[in-house]
A and B are shown apart, each in its own frame.
Chain A
Amino acid sequence: MSLPKNIFGARAAILGGLAILTAPFLWTRLDPDFATGFVSLRLVPENGIQFLSVVVPAALVALAIAGLGRLWARYGSSKPLFETASHRLFESPRAMAATFAALAAAGFVMSGKALSLGTFVCIHMMLAIGLNVTIGFTGLLVLGYAAFYATGAYTFAIAAHALPVLPTWAALPLGFTVAAGVGFLVGLPCLRLRGDYLAIVTLGFAEALREILRNLSVTGGDMGLVVPMQARIKAIGPVGQGHASWIAAVGVTLLVALFVHRLYHSRIGRAWIAIREDETAAAMMGIPVVRLKLLAFTVSAGLAGTAGAFFAGFAGFVDPSTATFEQSVLILAMVILGGIGSLPGSILGAALLYLAPTLLRDWFPAISDYRLFFFGCILVAMMLFRPQGLCGSPRHKLELEGAS
């Protein structure tokens, strides 16, 4: 269309523009004068210096990682390493059993803190794998995924209060079924429409649900609910409560991954990918597009519900913060970072994005403030520079210019 531009010039223009536009936010401070009701503006460098002192090093680290990645792609193996490994793992029951046994046994040497951290990582792996079913396989953006997580968690907490005989394992089917049902109802009105409506509807649903959770008495309002002791994950013999949770988390995560792996490698999975690639052509192949989208969305919601119910049984409490936008964005960023449509990608993305902020918190306490900012940056940067994610094959559809 236009002459090849000087790339450096274009980048300089963007950086310059950003510097000018952000200047009032970074370098000034508003001083309200309560007596007169006016406000004045003062030049203050601290604000901007503090912001840049976090963002610039982070950007440099990201650039360095990207550079290493490029070197690896050029001189190292270009085979989709993770995809092959994950395929072999989930095709072999023996390899899965061995993985499970090894991870479960590792719990004996892990500290209490590591066990709890590991369990949380597993919960986020379940969530990322579940979200990937809609985003990755079917190409539908879901923004309020945490709503289904919260649905599962609250379902189990409420059910455990209502039925004191409810066993802990019931969390999984219960969380799955109720969240899947809710997902079905939310998806029904908008899945016949263009894909981007789903994004905003799920976003709105998550906010509405959080409001409902905070305002109803059955959900405990802002305080949330405590899960009765008998429904929580308990210590068994020599295995402490933390260790038992870790073993259960590893087991459930492997099951969730196997479930998704098997769906993916079946006619249903192929139909999902076909819908992502070309809806009209998929319909012409006899695929009921709306019904399969609804199925993907329902399964996805159900898996979030499973993770949520597991969380309730593990943590022993649920509160409205399970349904925050931040939680949804965290899961989304995991899927995007790991690789859209890639099962091992979701696992890797979940591990990285859950562990990194937690580990950084010790020597950089302000990280919790900057977390969401960086997640946003990850979403934009991955789409621009590596839409296939960290371990996707480098020729994902998203990257191809679809100009036809």
Chain B
Amino acid sequence: MTPVLKATGVSKAFGGLKAVSAVSIESHAGQILSIIGPNGAGKTTFFNCLSGIYPLDSGTVELGGGRIDGLAPHLVSRAGLSRSFQNIRLFPEMTALQNVQVGRFARSPRQILGTILRTRAWRDRERASLERSEELLAFVGLGDRADSWARALPYGLQRRLEVARALATDPKVLLLDEPGAGMNPQEIVDMMALVKSIARLGVAVVVIEHHMKLVMEISDRIVVLDHGEPIAEGSPDEIRRDPRVVEAYLGRSEEPHG
């Protein structure tokens, strides 16, 4: 099976600091790939590289067979890669529904004249976009909060709204940056169920996560980063037994981790 997302030898340095060096991943439709590693291992930087926010120093990123490295973020998004952010970045002064509708932007046709004249075609498409957005809100469990201001939602629901907004772009690949951060145990369980159901829709999901127990439960494959370098890759069982992973997390005897 060919992977949907294939990143090869992705590297990024800030000044002298190698944030990400030679990281390669393959992500398949319907599967969940997790990226783990200690704080500062370069996970979020890697996501920023994939999504076009940082230009790459070297390496390639392919999505569905086409190159997406070097593209601007909005083109990456149009190519079928969407993401959430570690520190939630919703549009706070819009309602939950409007946030998701923004995600439909690239998937609805351009119609400036139709917008101004409110033609029937425009109204039909606007309704279609609205219905799809409502559907997505319901999918993440926010069906009854459509008209709440995004900033007024509780933290856990904001994370879910971000997922719905990302799904609204009809992604082939969804990058989730710590979807469980700051949540209580029950919310984490719910979030992981949501991530699994997204994968069941046929989306290739890539997750950065810290809660090891959950990573082990949901992941099909796991990549471990340390100091920007990939140190291990494999199934959850393989990773659990890998001595290098244990070392990266617990620290080497002479050197404290961080």
Contacts and interface: CB of A to CB of B under 8 A. Distances in A.
A182 interface: no
Given A266-B126, A267-B108, A271-B105, A284 B91 contact: no
A267 B89 contact: no
Contacts of B87: 404
A286 B93 contact: no
Contacts of A281: 85, 89-91
Contact of B74 (A259, A278, A283): A283
A296 to B, nearest CB: 12
Contact of B102 (A270, A395, A396): A270
Contacts of B106: 285-287
Interface string B144-178: 00000101000000000000010011000000000
Given A262-B115, A271-B105, A284 B94 contact: no
A263 B94 CA distance: 16
A5 to B, nearest CB: 28
A267 B94 contact: no
Nearest to A404: B87
Contacts of A268: 112, 115
A288 interface: yes
B129 interface: yes
B93 A396 contact: yes
A285 B116 contact: no
Interface residues of A, number: 27
B83 interface: yes
Interface residues of B, number: 38
Contact of A277 (B73, B94, B129): B94
B78 interface: yes
B132 to A, nearest CB: 12
A278 B93 CA distance: 10
B51 A284 contact: yes
Interface string B116-136: 101000100010010000000
A-B interface, 6 closest residue pairs, ranked by CB to CB distance from nearest:
A286-B106, A286-B77, A277-B91, A283-B73, A281-B89, A266-B115
Given A262-B115, A282-B102, A397-B92, 11 more contacts: A271-B105, A274-B102, A281-B90, A283-B74, A284-B53, A284-B83, A285-B106, A286-B106, A287-B105, A288-B74, A289-B74
Interface of A: 259, 262-263, 266-268, 270-271, 273-274, 277-278, 280-289, 395-397, 400, 404
10 contacts: A270-B98, A274-B102, A277-B93, A278-B90, A283-B72, A285-B102, A286-B103, A286-B105, A287-B102, A289-B74
